[in-house]
């Protein structure tokens, strides 16, 4: 179960999607949220601070979401970090690639706050409210 005090990092190059994800998290009572604009700055935050969950876009300039995921899984201090991919890439091969890289769950845009909550709860073995 993810505690409502959990610290969550939202990584997306579009501020709109960061706000939508933050609003969805807020509706689930998760208010301890930080943001990063790409994979590289996200990885830096993860290596310098403690987080309980990453919510990450795939298609970003510079370090992409899948590259961040691989870096996280390759880092002994981060490799068990829950990692939720939120992306417009709905291709089967993308989903398979993310699973092979160790993603915890995967949401395809567009999504409703309800879908977001269900995916998040599923990651932590909870029933959606």
Strands (E) across 37-110 are located at 53-56, 83-87, 105-108
SS3 3: coil
Nearer to another protein, 78 or 108 (CB): 108
Residues lying near another protein in the complex (CB under 8 A) are found at 14-17, 19-20, 23, 58-59, 61, 87-92, 108-112
Q: Provide, rounded to whole angstroms, the least separation between the CB of residue 30 and another protein.
A: 16
Burial of 29 (0-12, 13-18, 19+ CB in 10 A): exposed
Q: Provide, rounded to whole angstroms, the least separation between the CB of residue 23 and another protein.
A: 6
Q: Provide, rounded to whole angstroms, the least separation between the CB of residue 14 and another protein.
A: 4
């Amino acid at each position: 179960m993810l505690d409502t005090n959990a610290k969550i990092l939202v990584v997306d190059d579009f501020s709109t999607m960061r706000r939508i994800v933050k609003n969805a998290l807020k509706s689930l009572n998760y208010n301890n949220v930080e943001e990063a604009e790409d994979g590289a700055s996200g990885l830096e935050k993860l290596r310098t601070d403690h987080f309980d969950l990453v919510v990450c876009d795939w298609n970003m300039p510079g370090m992409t979401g899948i590259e961040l995921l691989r870096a996280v899984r390759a880092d002994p201090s981060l490799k068990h970090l829950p990692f939720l991919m939120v992306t417009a890439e709905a291709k089967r091969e993308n989903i398979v690639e993310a699973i092979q890289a160790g993603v915890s769950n995967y949401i395809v845009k567009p999504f409703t706050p309800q879908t977001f909550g269900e995916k998040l709860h599923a990651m932590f073995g909870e029933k959606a409210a």
